[in-house]
Chains A and B, each alone.
Chain A
């Protein structure tokens, strides 16, 4: 079931259009919401969470509109980017308060479950002001999870975390996605998104530029040649052979290997093994060098700019 649906959503502030005609659906699993700074990610998240009304279009969570609908908070949890947490509270007190605010029947149990989910059992009776950034974030995630929502929205959750804290958080989000929840997190650091989620929604200047698995998105970008890095036992001879191949549009020869630009992905990837075998050249490495989320992203940004 697609839990979160946006249809033709726009949001403007006077002459500034923050979000421009976005249609997307989010199902279970983890999705990364991606975009440069100021692209509209936070605005989108706030509309999904019911804090902002769309100027146009509809935002529904489990079939219900999220705006002016307190019921939606039964199934939705939001961890926003900047939030003042009362440092004098302990983690336990903070999560328990959240459970009580949700009017859960058994707030203590819910709080305990949420805290064990984020693995903060040992630290739960310490004051939040003594926590590291990662622990603070996890506490806030626990507070957002205490009512076991089906949808969890996180705005820049990895901001300022170090590698180990990030890994913990990534594991946690993945675990939640694996158990059927819909998790959406925003980030402008592609390395994080790449490691946690193959599924992305890319926002550029308020418009939805691409959705889905980023590798698949790359294949769809047929107007850009694919670039492969190749290392073999005889790079130069291989280069000569490749230039003769119709699907190849360019070959760069460097000391580390070849960079081959292929206009037709399908033809090239089938032809390469055959060419190598025919020439008696052993290929040691074939790697698509622009398939990283970073490249895909920069292509999308440039593409929409031109």
Chain B
């Protein structure tokens, strides 16, 4: 009688001979992981509460805008106005998420584990910033898309109307991008300086708030040029100025200072990003 077959499989340590994908893949992995962290995905239910409330609110405002539009037949809240309306409260979203992305890692002292991998320090900094920008933009982009769909069905001019709606949407999306870019650059830089999330959150809000009285004083003090230039210290006013120049929204008198607003914005963003990269390069782990 033949014996039955049997074999013991080798499940000892196996060496890895597969592909090793290098710096860019590592950076993309970190980016995706960070993006999921921003929305609380892959973590406890508690971590999802705040982001989902924010997303819910953003969509609610968009839904209201759509409702108003279908009722009245006119655009009550434009894409750009939506960004202004929701973008500023999104500051709170930033104040909570940026510390989650950045301060948490500092507090846990996990950076040596990242920096001993094929990921440069600058990569880490830029990826975290990119994730914050993406997260904020997504929170605005989703509802904008909803408004677009609502708008397309509500408008009565057929194909040309739909196209018009589409270009408006693009404007809205790019404006959302400007908000995301400028707000995130500041927030992530501030958060990277604090290892406690609460301190980082308060500091982010503080940085945005503290500019208001300063600008107020300068507005009263000076002449035209000072009035225009002082606005650029306040990120919110800076963005408004930009929207006036780029999208010709006429909410503010910018008196030909448009290009200056642009230069100031570029300077602000590049400054923040450079400081962020410098911060992580200089950090001793």
A–B proximity contact (CB within 8 A): no
